[in-house]
Amino acid sequence: MKLFKYLIPVLFTTLIISVIISCDGSLLNPMMPAGSRDYTWEVDTLANWPNSHYMVYRIWGSSPSDVWVGGDMGSAPYSIWHYDGRKWTAIRTPLLTSTWGIHGFSQDNVWMVEAGSNIWHFDGVEWSIFGTYPYKDYKYVGFNRLHGVSPNELYAVGFAETPGEKYTRIILKYDGNDWSYINIPEKDQFFASVVVEESSKHVYLQAEKNVRGVGFFKTYYRLVDDSLIPIDSTSKMADLVSLNGNALAVINNEIYDFQNDKLVLWKQFDESQFIGRIWGRNRNDFFTYNYFGNVGHYNGYDLKNIFSDGENRGLVEGFVFDRDVFFIVMELDLFQFYIYHGSLK
């Protein structure tokens, strides 16, 4: 049975799943100011195509007036949308049926990966296929995420599969000219995420494997040349994120730093409030996915719900600018998608 069948629900589920402070209630990170919660919020509805079963779960932007979102189009006519600072526009792109990852460096240098072997590029005018990258003798290739901190060093990760026979994790690297595979050992996992740290340039990955009776078993790695250094594993809900240029692991209600190829606990949240995922500017100013459709915010002192437009909604993905934040939100029983846009007053 094709791995594709499992990947969409597990990646999406991974996406939608009071902070401990010092005893005297003081700011834990005094070198950074407490993040403001004084936002105005707007809610936009992405076009609804009845019975199309489309899903939206990726977002990236160069500015609050240049934001891209995408996902799986199902039977809908579009798979990507663009926000120009005033409105969202669905973009029809021939041959593109899914957007499993999107990342860029400027308005005219944006990359996108799909549930296939194509890598797409946007040059400021149009999307086009940059190249097609099959893997060895495998029949299918799917890229889940891409990330980088330099236009000349970008990573795309995912899996290669021959249905009913074998599958393996894959890493593709862009060097400023072309993409090429890194020759890592094959293993029956798929890479769900990748984060490149800004200062250390360390490349961290989250691999997953569907284990019967356990669910998806996750393993964190650090990439060194063509070797993978295992760091830790868990069967819990987990994610790999970038916060202010640093890689963090979010496992259930706990947030971990990567230090010397080990996970070191940094924060622990109240399980009755926090579901998972974080997006932010720094450690005193980040957003969380909380229960009952709430956008949560941690300001260095405490975690509070700051916005909701319906209890039966879940945050799927987010992107944070200096003064603006955008969240993809799903109506859980209707598969209707919204964009929450917050702007600092």
Do residues 145 and 157 lie in contact, with contact meaning Cβ atoms separated by under 8 Å?
Answer: yes
Which fold is adopted by the domain 4-344? Methylamine Dehydrogenase; Chain H (2.130.10)
- If the chain, 345 residues long, is cut into consecutive pieces of 10 residues, what is the mean pLDDT of each piece? 48 41 47 89 82 82 97 73 94 79 97 92 95 96 95 97 95 97 96 96 96 88 97 96 97 96 95 89 96 94 94 94 96 87 97
Residue with tokens 């999406």: 12
For 140-179, give the DSSP string: EEEEEEEEEEETTEEEEEEEEEETTTEEEEEEEEE-SS-E
Buried b (16+ CB within 10 A) or exposed e, 146-158: bbbeeeeebbbbb
Q: Domain boundaries in the chain?
A: 4-344
CA–CA dist 99, 76 (Å, integer) = 13
Predicted pLDDT of residue 334 = 78
Predicted pLDDT of residue 75 = 59
Predicted pLDDT of residue 25 = 45
Predicted pLDDT of residue 48 = 65
- Using alpha carbons, list the distances in angstroms from residue 107 to 102, 154, 178, 228: 13, 17, 20, 33
Predicted pLDDT of residue 20 = 31
